Structure 1
Amino acid sequence: MVTNLPAEAKAKWLRVMDAKTPEEKLQALQDFLSYVPKHKGTENLVMWARRRMAELREQTEKEKRKGSGRGLQLFVEKDGAGQVLLLGNYQLRCNVMRSITNVKQDPVELPVVGMTYYEDVRIQVVNPPFFTTESRWATRIVGMARNADVLVLTVENSGELSKLKDFLSDNGMTLGRPRGRVVVERMRTGSGVRVVNMGKLVGTTEEEVKRYVEGFGFRSAIVKITGEVAMDDVERAIFESGSTKPFVVVSHDVPGSLKPWERDQLKLALFRELDVIRVYTKEPFEPPTKDPLVLKRGSTVAEVAKKLHSSLYEGLTYARVWGKSVKHQGQRVGPDWVLEDGDIVELHTR
């Protein structure tokens, strides 16, 4: 059920979104929460806000310890097409790390970070230190899981898998791929809220989505919808409270490393769960680039231009596309054209 918030609370949320530092965001969240009415309809939102505030408090404490040279830092900045976090049986996840990356070191007090490849796509793999669900590391591991794009659950048996799922569930994380995806992007220029619907709206309409987003005070924004989406999903996108994580289960005997075919299957599974596409760009009368741009599925020509350079994005008029998304190779398309994996894009600006 969509939370019915008063206008004052919605206005306070924009300040949360505008906050730049963890300290500013924590203070803005506290202010926002004071304007949220406490009743059954807001229970989930209040619970999420308090959990997020706890994470921000810990993050600010980490920064203070880092500044003083004390404390261990577990946060890993993302790299490549996405970040994969290994969780579960410690020895098995170390075996997986050694099998799919060039990293041979096992984590002790700090995470070990490596890179694996699916064809021409780089995927970051993070193996955290040993922990139990009751240990002092548990809260930090949950923070790492929230930051990751995909979780790899390494288990020997169904009992280990059930315990790991329960641990994540108790910390507000749901495993699985969402039915749909909503991105609410605030724009610096333009006016009004525009809905780009590339999926299916359930129980609502584009006009209702537009009015709902406008109700939060968004003066200029694009709401991009892919897959099957309800108004609850739009709300979660605004509050950044969605915590459904794609996952892959690796069940294996601990002593053995992954066989080549198991390693290849895992890399393919990671690529699929990241839900990304590869886009190759080209200049007129030139061959396409060999290194792809990696974007979320459902990305448009405009997003390709934006990732390359702001001037391309601002001056974009149309593109020519070769690949699976078009009926005719070299077809002329507009900025909102949705691309597919392997497409080749030639941008044209004014």
Structure 2
Amino acid sequence: MAGIEDQIKEIEDEIQNTVYNKATSKHIGRLKAKLAKMKEEAVNRAMKAGGGGEGYAVKKSGDATVVLVGFPSTGKSTLLNVLTGTQSETGAYAFTTLTVVPGALEHKGAKIQLLDIPGLIAGAAMGKGRGKEVIAVVRNADMIVLLVDVFNEKHVDVLFRELYDAGIRVNVPKPDITIKKTSRGGVRLNAVGTLDLDIEEVRSILTENRIASADILIRGNATQDDLIDAIMGSRVYIPAIIAVNKVDLIDEKDRKKIEEDLTERFGQKPIMISAATGYHMEELKDAIYNALGFIRIFLKPQAGPADMDEPLIMRTGSKIEDVCRKLHRDFVDKFRYARVWGTSVKHEAQRVGIAHNLADEDILQIIIER
């Protein structure tokens, strides 16, 4: 009897060889749902294998946590040392880093925790190498730097595939899908906006997951894969950037070719760097900061000017309530109102409520009960 990895390969081949059209969409949806369950089972089995291992417990700190993900010997440890001053052991051989080494990067007022982890290899999602521990750290990060070197830039494909197989969705928004199982009534599909999925595809996917009756609400468009991810419920959605290291070892022509190739294949321009020489380190810091979606909020006390030197670092989409929780838990309960100066309001010193959305460089004054 074929092992689970062989069965996974058979299904992947069948999906690859089946032309997608209206007549085959239902069948493909069922195969994808079956494949997702099998991969989830394989990953879970790998994570439980050899139970009792310590793993890598890393306490998050700062305004966000960023993990350096790459094959062994791509220069992750050197990069961490350059960006943070942390002394992570380096060497010209694989698996120099045998544990997680944290470092602190301060940039534009933000305190960013960087994690150097053991190299990720093909098969990591299924537990190969130090895949079990490494994947666990990546899943808890706020952002990923995918690091490859100029001689192995094709490793980006492997990294994306391993992260995907481990349930990590890179640079895609979480689909807005609500699934409510019901005891009877079959499958009812409701959509807000244009939806390419039809009810038969949805039923086929749900049937493979042993769901006979459910109310499905999809806001915005969604694919079969999006629906399957929503059913599985174990996916994490993390932004990432691609950095290509050791560019000082090749000429400008080859450097440009690699940059153009990765941009075309992944829809984002990679940061071409040299950790050894410090080339493009500021550009990399800016890319990390921007990918994290930071905004700067300047706090103004009731009496006196705003502190324009040390902003409070928040994330795009933050509300005043989020600021209150970050400052002190009592601020939410005692909140009366706030005044805001900046682009998120129509006029200066506008009075707003706790649900107000803030924008970058807003000045905020919070009034609480005394």
Matches within 5 A, 1:171-190: 171-176=166-171, 178-179=172-173
Aligned-residue offset at 1:126: 0.4
Q: Deviations over 1:195-246 (max 9, x none)?
A: xxxxxx7459xxxxxxxxxxx9xxxxxxxxxxx9668989978986333321
Instruction: Look up the match of 2:332.
Output: 313
Change over 3 Å in CA distance of 1:258–1:337 after alignment to 2 = farther
Change over 3 Å in CA distance of 1:131–1:304 after alignment to 2 = closer
Residues 320 and 332 in structure 1, CA contact (< 8 A), matched pair in contact too: yes
Aligned-residue offset at 1:261: 5.7
Matches within 5 A, 1:209-228: none
Aligned-residue offset at 1:133: 2.9
Aligned with 1:276 (options 280, 286, 294)? 294
Matches within 5 A, 1:72-87: 72-87=54-69
3-state SS, counterpart of residue 99 of structure 1: helix
**Structure 1 position 88 matched with structure 2 position 65:** no
Give the residue type in structure 1 aligned to 2:302. Answer: P
3-state SS, counterpart of residue 109 of structure 1: coil
Structure 1: runs of 5+ lacking an equivalent: 1-38, 66-70, 185-200, 205-215, 217-227
Provide the alpha-carbon RMSD of the alignment: 3.6
Aligned with 1:118 (options 94, 107, 111)? 107
Matches within 5 A, 1:196-345: 202=193, 241-253=234-246, 256-257=274-275, 260=278, 262-289=280-307, 290-345=309-364
Change over 3 Å in CA distance of 1:305–1:131 after alignment to 2 = closer
Residues 175 and 222 in structure 2, CA contact (< 8 A), matched pair in contact too: no
Instruction: Look up the match of 1:98.
Output: 81
Structure 2: runs of 5+ lacking an equivalent: 1-29, 90-95, 179-191, 196-213, 250-273
Give the residue type in structure 2 aligned to 1:169. Answer: Y
Residues 279 and 341 in structure 1, CA contact (< 8 A), matched pair in contact too: yes
Q: Percent identity?
A: 25
3-state SS, counterpart of residue 154 of structure 2: helix
Aligned-residue offset at 1:266: 0.8
Aligned-residue offset at 1:48: 8.5
Change over 3 Å in CA distance of 1:330–1:260 after alignment to 2 = farther
Structure 1 length-normalised TM = 0.63
Count of residues in correspondence between the two structures: 264
Instruction: Look up the match of 1:32.
Output: none
Change over 3 Å in CA distance of 1:180–1:344 after alignment to 2 = farther
Aligned mates of 1:238, 1:338 — CA distance in 2: 31
Aligned mates of 2:326, 2:39 — CA distance in 1: 31
Change over 3 Å in CA distance of 1:154–1:347 after alignment to 2 = same
Instruction: Look up the match of 2:161.
Output: 166
Aligned mates of 1:319, 1:111 — CA distance in 2: 41
Change over 3 Å in CA distance of 1:330–1:231 after alignment to 2 = farther
Instruction: Look up the match of 2:92.
Output: none
Residues 277 and 341 in structure 1, CA contact (< 8 A), matched pair in contact too: yes
Higher radius of gyration, 1 or 2: 2
Structure 2 length-normalised TM = 0.60
Give the residue type in structure 2 aligned to 1:98. Answer: N
